Amino acid sequence: MTVMPAFSNKPAVLVVDDDPLVRGALDSLLRSVGIAVRPYESARQLLATALPDSPLCLVMDVRMPHIGGFECHALLMDKGHDIPAIFLTGHGDIPMSVKAMKAGAIDFLTKPFRDQDMIDAVNAGLALALERQVLRDQSRALRERFGTLSRRERQVMDGVVRGLLNKQIAAEIGITEITVKLHRSSLMRKMGLRTVPDLVRAAATLPDTPAEKMVA
């Protein structure tokens, strides 16, 4: 097995194809337009690699020994790697294209493919990967900020998100309305938010912190 150099944090394309000629052609094509490439000779080799938390796009042959492209992509998803995928095949047909799209493909290309079609598909995949990374980073930052809130601040946040007025929150948790206002101001500052709609949207990105856990 080829020893791969360490990943950098820059966007990269993971090329998985058991045909060395296809791997080499894709490597040369994508590098010629400034795209970093990581070639793999099999799905097993890719699955054995520790992937970084950086924008990645897959270009993967559908038919490979042992583990095919669809199965490999599903296994990556099971491991938490939601990577935009472009599937390749030398025997493309409509049913396989439908299966590729259901498997989460952003494109499905038949060999031999046009260079520009591949470049366009990869650029779209990397753009989607970057967008997903930004959302993950924002969600992670919000979870970290949420973790700094006190129990009272979480209770007040729960009430605000449910649309309660300050006096209703005060009556529900047994504190004064002035104290609710103080906690509300503090939690908004800690969360880095300015408006109630911002807070509601932020709460929606915290699936591991439902209302009952806010007051735990």
- Extended strands (E) in 21-173: 36-40, 56-61, 85-89, 105-110
The yes-or-no verdict on residue 207 having pLDDT over 90 is no
CATH code of the domain containing 29: 3.40.50.2300
Residue 17 shares a structural domain with residue 101? yes
Looking at the structure of the chain, the number of domains it has is 2
Residue 112 shares a structural domain with residue 175? no
Residue 184 shares a structural domain with residue 102? no
Dihedral sign computed on CA atoms, order 172, 175, 176, 180: negative
The yes-or-no verdict on residue 208 having pLDDT over 60 is no
Dihedral sign computed on CA atoms, order 19, 24, 25, 31: positive
Residue 163 shares a structural domain with residue 115? no
CATH code of the domain containing 167: 1.10.10.10
Average pLDDT of the chain to the nearest whole number? 87
Mean pLDDT of 86-113: 78
Residue 199 shares a structural domain with residue 132? no
Parent domain of 166? 147-214
Residue 138 confidence class, pLDDT cut points 50, 70, 90: confident
Residue 35 confidence class, pLDDT cut points 50, 70, 90: very high
**What pLDDT, in 10s, does the model give residues 69-99?**
889 999 999 988 989 999 998 776 667 777 7
Mean pLDDT of 159-172: 95
The better pLDDT of the pair 2, 41 is held by 41
**What pLDDT, in 10s, does the model give residues 139-164?**
889 999 999 999 999 999 999 999 99
Supply the pLDDT for residue 93: 67
Tell which of 110, 141, 172 closes a domain: 141
